Structure 1
Amino acid sequence: MNLFRGIDVVTASSASALSFLVWESCTTLDDEVEYIWSKSYTSPIKWLYLFTRYIGLGDLVATPYFGYRSALSCRGWIVLQMGGLQAMVTLVEMILMLRVHALYNRDPRMRAFLILLILVATVIPATGMGLSASKTMFSPSCAVMHIDNPLTFISYIYSITESILLILTVVKCVHTSRTTLRHAPVIVLMLRDGMLAFFALVGRSLV
């Protein structure tokens, strides 16, 4: 009974998330076509947006096909979940870093710092997830029973990365507002979006 209950919970959660993503994609498709698809094929923002938008959708579609019949299929399922999470966080962080890079007038020193930051924020969590997945023990319903390497430190890395990006955004926005003696709409928008992204990603990583 516990096996089927566990499967039902996972399936229902995936179906709910998939339904919401499909609905949201359909309702905003016209804006996506106008503002994203029309961009040049060389635009990094275009591809980052599309990968970020649809990698979660693909993850949810693929999840039920892993089944729940053995420790191997459970491990494949958890690797898929971790890989999808890491890919989405990395892509979102790259979008935020492009915004910060633009705020600092594409300064080469800032670009080098952001490249180093994204490497650290990707390699360390991915390595930790891989090690944890290889040693994780599962119940028949694929619930995690034991994990040798807790993933708490990964949430700390995500939080530190987002904090750095938020600080860089706030500092530049405040400096620009003071030097121009006015609050430009684009600066206010970038500051607002930067704060929303910070709370969303940090909140997600701490759940």
Structure 2
Amino acid sequence: MHIHSNSIRIWFALQGLLAFSIMAGAEIVMMVRVYALYNRRKWVRYGFIALMLAEVLTAFLGIVLTFPPTSFDPQLIITTTPGSFEYFSISTLVSQTIVLVLSIARYRYMYKKGHWEGTRIIKLMLRDGTLAFLVFFMLSLLMAVYHILQQPFAPSEYVWSISIISVTECRLILNLQKLPFTESDTLTEFPEFTTVLTNDHSGPGTS
């Protein structure tokens, strides 16, 4: 089947936008968790909005500045990644680091105040958040390094990254939903989480 070279060129350029969209979804999940930890404070909300807008601007700027010329060789699509990956990866590394720093700072504060002693949901969020950060950070770093070094297996890393990011994002949500609701957090300085879903299948004749 003959595919027009311009179509391949456009698809190649927009790969960075696809990668950014998937990573942005995962980052929003992490940001919401941190936002809840800070009791939905305004400076956290507006800070995360500004951070996400900066990422969007950087991603689109990278696509515009690195858009392939008309002399683009279609065979490059299987041997290299678009230049926008460099912009996108660096911006996500900065964003993820900020989210992690805010998370650790809040966890330390809560631990010193004794707000999470025996609280399983906080321990779960700390564990999952740290693991997710390591996964996202490593994948973003590999995207940037592989592109800069023009490694021939960079496109394969990009494809695997999409799958890994999606799976990790799902686990962040599902782990909270599966956590048994065995305790309630009623401390005034700690938010009440409603992420855990409970289903009551009791019928009229059920005792």
Taking structure 2 as the reference length, the TM-score comes to: 0.59
Residues 92, 140 of structure 2: 8 Å contact kept: yes
Higher helix fraction (1 or 2): 1
* Deviation by residue 1:13-50 (Cα, 9 ceiling, x = unmatched): xxxxxxxxxxxxxxxxxxxxxxxxxxxxxxxxxxxxxx
User: What is the aligned partner in structure 2 of residue 201 from structure 1?
Assistant: 136
User: What is the aligned partner in structure 1 of residue 124 from structure 2?
Assistant: 189
1:116 is matched by which residue type in structure 2? A
Deviation, 1:176, is 0.7
User: What is the aligned partner in structure 2 of residue 95 from structure 1?
Assistant: 29
- Runs of 4+ aligned structure 1 residues displaced above 6 Å come to 144-148
Report sequence identity in percent. Answer: 28
2:135 is matched by which residue type in structure 1? A
User: What is the aligned partner in structure 1 of residue 181 from structure 2?
Assistant: none
Residues 13, 82 of structure 2: 8 Å contact kept: no
SS in structure 2 of the partner of residue 69 of structure 1? coil
**CA distance in 2: counterparts of 1:189 and 1:130, whole angstroms:** 40
State yes or no: 1:110 paired with 2:44: yes
* Deviation by residue 1:91-146 (Cα, 9 ceiling, x = unmatched): 11111111111000000111111111111122112221233134485434343789
Rg larger in structure: 2
User: What is the aligned partner in structure 2 of residue 6 from structure 1?
Assistant: none
Matches for 1:1-207 after TM superposition, within 5 Å: 69-135=3-69, 138-143=72-77, 151-180=85-114, 182=117, 184-207=119-142
Taking structure 1 as the reference length, the TM-score comes to: 0.59
Is there any run of 5+ residues in structure 2 with no aligned partner, and where?
143-207
2:36 is matched by which residue type in structure 1? A
Shift in CA distance, 68/115, structure 1 to aligned 2, threshold 3 Å: farther
Equivalenced residues, count = 141
